[in-house]
Amino acid sequence: MKNKDPIRRMSESRPLGLFFISLFKLGKGVLVLALGIGVLKLINKDVDGIFLALISKLHIDAEHRFIQRVLAHLSLIDNHTLEAIATISFIFASLLLLEGFGLIFQKLWAEYLTVAETAIFIPFEIYEIIRRATVTRISILTINIAIVMYLLLAILRKSLARNAIR
């Protein structure tokens, strides 16, 4: 008799590492999607004013050098820039969600896509660590290298198993 418990079936048929990577990608996808929606809500709004109101609520000194630098950058943002940021966020969120769902359903193309998308960012992450090493940057690099290595090994195992059957 087949086991009807979906959680047990899922854990028996899906490698746990692949499941966690898919959850990680889905979580990132949802966060980037939320970012895009938030940026869209800023269109036709006073971005500087919203930032100053936030700073005030957090009781941060608005005259601080860093805050003044952020305000100077925010004053350069127009609706066209916000639309571009939102569009890029939606495209990236779509890619992350596609990867996540593809990995959930154990699609080989999703493993290849995830390896490519994750590996593309590794040189930029190394560059950022060289510029200024932080625990966060090193952690992100470590996680991304682990994801790439895990998926490459999974792809290699599947390829070897497929060739052994032939």
Domain residue ranges in the chain: 1-105, 107-166
Count CB atoms within 10 A of the CB of residue 7.
8
What mean pLDDT is reported for the chain? 90
Nearby residues of 25 by Cβ (< 8 Å), 6 or more positions away = 96, 97, 99, 100, 103, 114
pLDDT over 90 at 84, yes or no: yes
d(CA 46, CA 78): 10
For 56-74, what is the mean pLDDT? 90
pLDDT tier, 164 (very low <50, low <70, confident <90, very high otherwise): confident
Any idea which of 37-51, 79-93, 111-125, 152-166 has the lowest mean pLDDT? Answer: 152-166
Chain-centre distance for alpha carbon 131: 22
pTM: 0.80
Whole-number pLDDT of residue 10: 46
pLDDT tier, 3 (very low <50, low <70, confident <90, very high otherwise): low
Q: Which residue's structure tokens are 């004013």?
A: 49
Whole-number pLDDT of residue 88: 98
Whole-number pLDDT of residue 5: 52
Is 32 within 8 Å of 93 (Cβ atoms)? yes
pLDDT tier, 11 (very low <50, low <70, confident <90, very high otherwise): very low
- In the chain, the percentage of residues whose pLDDT exceeds 90 is 70
- In the chain, the percentage of residues whose pLDDT exceeds 70 is 91
Please give the residue that has the higher pLDDT: either 142 or 8. Answer: 142
pLDDT in tens, 126-141: 999 999 999 999 999 9
